[in-house]
A and B are shown apart, each in its own frame.
Chain A
Amino acid sequence: MASAGLRDAPQLPDFGLLKRLARDQLVYLLEQLPGKKDLFIEAALMSPLDRIANVSILKQHEVDKLYKVENKPAYSTNIVNADKAAGRTRKYKIIFSPQKFYTCEMVLEEEGIYGDVTWDEWSFYLLPLDEDIISMELPEFFRDYFLVSINSVIQNLFLSQMVHELWHEIEEDSPVDTVGQKPEIGHIFLLDRDVDYVTALCSQVVYEGLVDDTFRIKCGEFHPRAPEQLLAFSVFSQIRNEHFSSVFGFLSQKARNLQAQYDRRRGMDIKQMKTFVSQELKGLKQEHRLLSLHIGACECIMKKKTKQDFQELLKTEHALLEGFDIRESVSFIEEHIDRQVSPIDSLRLLCLLSITENGLAPKDYRSLKTQYLQSYGPEHLLTFHNLKHLGLLTEQAPGETLTAVESKVSKLVTDRTAGKLSDAFSSLGRKSNFRGISKKLGLIPRGDGEYDLKVPRDMAYVFSGAYVPLSCKLIEQVLERKSWLGLEEVTRLLGGNEFVTGKRARENVALDAQRIVLVVFLGGCTFSEISALRFLGREKGLRFVFLTTALTNSARLLESTIEAKA
């Protein structure tokens, strides 16, 4: 696929347009309510809003005060009712983003304020976080879709299939005159998160992923707000995709360069000094600021990671991925639980163990679950129930040999008229088969010699050379083969017939566009996956565009399965 002539990556479409559209629409909505107004913003909307508009834009359109509404959408109804009780009259408008739900209307009606408020929608669906990342900012999507709506039911349609179907409909519905337009994207992949949980559960060691694991990047806003063109050349863009081990060296090199540039001041005459101050100083200062930010971040990461035995944790993860010394990993996990260290990490290791081993042995399951509840609280039995539903943490069926169950289940699954399956089977039916897949796709690179993380040779570098992310490997394989041909065994192991391939020959796709690949992650994607595919893109002369319901990591994924503590 990659030929020498195509090495330089094609230009991406300008997704900044989406931002401008959203901003214009917001302004329009604000203008619909002339005069001074206060704005109450739901907490979850703060960061996305920040990326679209800023306070001065809001002020320009006569927003007086800004309030944050914490997790309680029903709060606004209290305001209205309180005003009513106090005899105050005000105008209220609720702006639903991205769309109003009928449930909201019901709440308004029940609260007795239907009619007292007007409402509108801010159809702000897509937030470009980067030139190649677009987020739908729907972190709850994973829980809503994979946990709540689909899990006790094996649906004939899997999510990506559903989207695919809708896509078709939209295409058929849309006006005919797209003929003149040239498609800007050559390939589209739709990936359900449940195809690959393993990658999302691993500790991230690529800089941006590690930063996300440690500090939680909100809306791609780790770096301080800075002019975007500056960011493109900034420190961050140079280290974000690097393995953490190479970051220190890079930062200290940068620091030395910076020092040298500052040092040039000495021995300058007045005139030189003047040009220096007017032309270079600002940039240097900016760089200095960013550099110290990242150095600070690294320090903080190191401190946190040494405290929690990161090295040991990684060792266990790698052992699980490779499938050796399972007993040792089990006892590490047990001790991890007993020491009451991070409940999320404990859960993460348990899930990794379960997925890589196709479920825990009943004895282990019981004992580890009991100890987990004893360490972190009995209410987590609800969490375990959720994880079982998701197929993230399961118990091997006792008695029957696995293969027997497997064939039975797969028969049931293929029998589409069966439709409904008992819960026990549904969790078994979604067995991960990780080992088989890993073998087929070669996800664990052979350990001949040291893996030089500074000069990555494949996508495994994002996990210290120990594992190639499954999701990314699938994409690589399909792109290489230009189809799923030859991957039948893998698709079977992944849940077989739930794959759809839509092919539409479009001769008029421009050469450049053919090298742009849109990857849609339904249920969230991680920075590690982004880094891995960016690497692949550089190798093959492709550009990947990421569209995701949200950026996720192991903690976000697992937290969404935990029943909230009241």
Chain B
Amino acid sequence: MNRMKVDEEEYWHSSKCKAFTFDDEDDELSQLKESKRAVNSLRDIVDDDDDLEKFSWSGEPVGSISWSIKETASSNSNTSEGRDLSGQKGSSSYGAFPKQPSSYSLSSFFKGRNKHGSFQSLSDALTDTGLKNYAPELRRPKAEFKDYTSDWSPKDTVRRLQRGKISSLERFRSLQDKLLLLDEAVAVHDGNVITAILIFLKKTLKKEILFRELELRQVALQHLIYFLKETGDQKLLLDLLRFLDRTEEVALTQYREHLTIQDAEKRKEFLKGCIGLSFSSEDAAHVQDHYTLLERQIIIEANDKHLEASGQAEIFRKYPRKASILNMPLVTTLFYSCFYHYTEAEGTFSSPTNLKKTFKIPDKQYVLTALAARAKLRAWNDVDALFTTKNWLGYTKKKAPIGFHRVVEILQRNNAPVQVLQEYVRLVEDVETKLNLAVKYKCHDVVIDTYKDLKDRLQLMAYRCKVDRGSPAEEKIDSILSNPQIRWKN
């Protein structure tokens, strides 16, 4: 193989490509020729003293190129330049290194081409022959491009990869070359190429080495993490995150996996395993709750399924369950339990009070949910009890952790009768809101009393036209309007 390569090399070296007409394919030939020539002339220099020169025309460590040449020449001797890279912490672009004017500089080999700008550019090759090709549809299917078994520099290789031409990466065997390739890809900001090279590195490097090198290359690292997530390589991903000491991310990544487990019992077991992971203290509590919730749901689900099937409980006959409670949020579970298990003693897993206690559900959240559930069942007494508090003298008082306008809204949505609605409309604190709600839901008593309190005779008279003739509401208005003791403001 190597023997053949050298022959081929000599052929190219001696051939005169100048007379070629450039079409897309020949563009490659020209590039090939260029890199051959560069590479061949380099050999003499590099072979002479291989670690004198560190940076070349584009600021790349010459070491890698020299290595690749040795490879072609089937020399196995190792060079030590690879270690230079570790010195350049996190640097993602070699472009930043100063060009060193040196007689060894590669640029001298490209001088002839430099004035055209990049010698790589397709259009460059095309302008040479005046064959402008703007219409990409006239090209050959991309898949038909054949790769030449030849030695592209890392830069060339990346450029080729960028253009979607298949470039074999197998040749990049030394760690240093691999990294050079990667850095080159990062420097051109091409995620696709970075990923291609990462796939190759993943295949050909021990993971410890790969991880170690990526730790210094954050951009490439992000791409690998993304790639592993996308391809579902959970194991390697976790190894990587562990290596990087990102313990919280390890925990979250592991936890994320539960989403893929369909079976509730298995999911529960999985969550149990997540409990000890190094989440933030806040999240640790959430994960613990998640586990407990699912555990509860499994018990409730089994019981209720049985209960429903047996047909003994009236509530299930009247309101058959529409879906399983498994994997529902806590509030949904609470709603469910307020709906089906409202009166149960605190000792049972399915009782609302038990849920409230176990998960420390705030009053506000609890009341809103219970209200919605009981209103749906039109259990107005329960609704009443929800807001009734007794003070130490035994007086009862209505109190709510949420605004009463919200209570009214929920009740109204569940078609509460006016008598019920009116009681809560009356409790709305803001007078204007109260009036609006009362008018909207036709709570005549509240409207009338409010106008009376406001001493607004005109409004009251206007409202008289809106109530039914001969209704109790009209009578009430009339009696108020004829009350001489009221001092109307208008």
A379 interface residue (CB < 8 Å to B): yes
Q: With A102-B196, A172-B117 known to touch, is A121 a contact of B142 (CB < 8 Å)? A: yes
Residue of B nearest to A145 (CB): B191
Which chain A residues numbered 68 to 125 have a C-beta less than 8 Å away from chain B?
A: 99-103, 106, 118-121, 123
Chain B residues closer than 8 Å to A251, beta-carbon distance:
none
What 16 additional pairs, Cβ within 8 angstroms, besides A118-B143, A120-B141, A338-B368?
A119-B142, A121-B164, A149-B219, A149-B223, A150-B222, A173-B117, A173-B124, A174-B123, A340-B331, A371-B362, A373-B286, A375-B330, A375-B331, A378-B289, A564-B259, A565-B259
**CB-contact partner of A166 in B118, B189, B192, under 8 A:** B189
A338 touches B364 (CB 8 A): yes
Chain B residues closer than 8 Å to A382, beta-carbon distance:
252, 255-256
A214 interface residue (CB < 8 Å to B): no
- The chain A residues found within 8 Å of chain B, CB to CB, are 24-25, 28-29, 32, 99-103, 106, 118-121, 123, 144, 148-150, 152-153, 155-156, 162, 165-166, 172-177, 334-335, 338-340, 366-367, 369-371, 373-379, 381-382, 385, 419-420, 563-566
Q: With A173-B117, A382-B255 known to touch, is A25 a contact of B137 (CB < 8 Å)? A: yes
B208 interface residue (CB < 8 Å to A): no
Residue of B nearest to A395 (CB): B282
Give CA–CA (A28, B262) in the complex, Å: 45
Residue of A nearest to B329 (CB): A377
Q: With A102-B196, A565-B259 known to touch, is A374 a contact of B121 (CB < 8 Å)? A: no
A148 touches B226 (CB 8 A): yes
Give CA–CA (A48, B232) in the complex, Å: 29
| Nearest CB of chain B from residue A261's CB, rounded to whole Å | 39
For this complex, into which size category does the number of interface residues on chain B fall? 35 or more
**CB-contact partner of A378 in B117, B142, B225, B286, under 8 A:** B286
Q: With A120-B142, A378-B287 known to touch, is A339 a contact of B368 (CB < 8 Å)? A: yes
Chain B residues closer than 8 Å to A25, beta-carbon distance:
136-137
Chain B residues closer than 8 Å to A162, beta-carbon distance:
189
Chain A residues closer than 8 Å to B196, beta-carbon distance:
102-103
Give CA–CA (A277, B332) in the complex, Å: 59
B240 interface residue (CB < 8 Å to A): no
A335 touches B364 (CB 8 A): yes
Contact with A along B237-260 (1 / 0, CB 8 A): 000000000000000100110111
**CB-contact partner of B402 in A28, A102, A335, under 8 A:** A335
Give CA–CA (A119, B330) in the complex, Å: 49
Give CA–CA (A25, B136) in the complex, Å: 8
B218 touches A102 (CB 8 A): no
Report which residue of B143, B193, B230, B362 has the largest number of chain A beta carbons within 10 angstroms of its beta carbon: B143
Chain A residues closer than 8 Å to B364, beta-carbon distance:
334-335, 338
| Nearest CB of chain B from residue A492's CB, rounded to whole Å | 25
Chain A residues closer than 8 Å to B258, beta-carbon distance:
379
**CB-contact partner of A175 in B123, B191, B252, B331, under 8 A:** B123
**CB-contact partner of A103 in B135, B136, B195, under 8 A:** B195
| Nearest CB of chain A from residue B287's CB, rounded to whole Å | 7
Chain B residues closer than 8 Å to A339, beta-carbon distance:
368
B103 interface residue (CB < 8 Å to A): no
Chain A residues closer than 8 Å to B123, beta-carbon distance:
173-175
B89 interface residue (CB < 8 Å to A): yes
B40 interface residue (CB < 8 Å to A): no
**CB-contact partner of A102 in B121, B161, B226, under 8 A:** B161
Chain A residues closer than 8 Å to B286, beta-carbon distance:
370, 373, 378, 381
Which chain B residues numbered 64 to 122 have a C-beta less than 8 Å away from chain A?
A: 89-90, 92, 117-118, 121
Give CA–CA (A339, B225) in the complex, Å: 37
Give CA–CA (A32, B139) in the complex, Å: 11
Q: With A118-B141, A335-B364, A371-B365 known to touch, is A175 a contact of B282 (CB < 8 Å)? A: no
Residue of A nearest to B258 (CB): A379
Which chain B residues numbered 309 to 341 have a C-beta less than 8 Å away from chain A?
A: 327-332
| Nearest CB of chain A from residue B115's CB, rounded to whole Å | 10
Chain B residues closer than 8 Å to A144, beta-carbon distance:
226
Residue of B nearest to A154 (CB): B218
A566 touches B259 (CB 8 A): yes
B137 touches A101 (CB 8 A): no
**CB-contact partner of A28 in B92, B137, B229, under 8 A:** B137
B210 interface residue (CB < 8 Å to A): no
Give CA–CA (A106, B166) in the complex, Å: 12
B345 interface residue (CB < 8 Å to A): no
B480 interface residue (CB < 8 Å to A): no
Give CA–CA (A413, B161) in the complex, Å: 34
A101 touches B329 (CB 8 A): no
Give CA–CA (A385, B279) in the complex, Å: 11
Chain A residues closer than 8 Å to B332, beta-carbon distance:
340
Chain B residues closer than 8 Å to A172, beta-carbon distance:
117-118
**CB-contact partner of A566 in B124, B231, B262, under 8 A:** B262
Residue of A nearest to B253 (CB): A382
**CB-contact partner of A374 in B89, B193, B327, B331, under 8 A:** B331
A374 touches B365 (CB 8 A): yes
When A and B form their complex, which 4 residue pairs have the shortest distance between CB atoms, in order from nearest? Answer: A102-B196, A378-B290, A28-B137, A566-B259
B303 interface residue (CB < 8 Å to A): no
| Nearest CB of chain B from residue A560's CB, rounded to whole Å | 14
Residue of A nearest to B293 (CB): A378
Contact with A along B287-310 (1 / 0, CB 8 A): 101100100000000000000000
Which chain B residues numbered 254 to 279 have a C-beta less than 8 Å away from chain A?
A: 255-256, 258-262
| Nearest CB of chain B from residue A244's CB, rounded to whole Å | 23
Chain A residues closer than 8 Å to B255, beta-carbon distance:
381-382
Report which residue of A162, A369, A375 has the largest number of chain B beta carbons within 10 angstroms of its beta carbon: A375
B195 touches A101 (CB 8 A): yes
Give CA–CA (A377, B121) in the complex, Å: 53
Show 26 residue pairs from A and B whose CB-CB distance is below 8 angstroms, ordered by the A residue.
A24-B135, A24-B137, A25-B137, A28-B138, A32-B141, A101-B192, A102-B192, A102-B196, A123-B136, A156-B92, A166-B189, A172-B117, A173-B123, A175-B127, A338-B331, A366-B282, A369-B282, A373-B330, A374-B329, A374-B330, A374-B331, A374-B365, A377-B327, A378-B287, A385-B252, A564-B259
Chain A residues closer than 8 Å to B118, beta-carbon distance:
172-173
| Nearest CB of chain B from residue A448's CB, rounded to whole Å | 24
A153 touches B218 (CB 8 A): yes
Chain A residues closer than 8 Å to B223, beta-carbon distance:
149
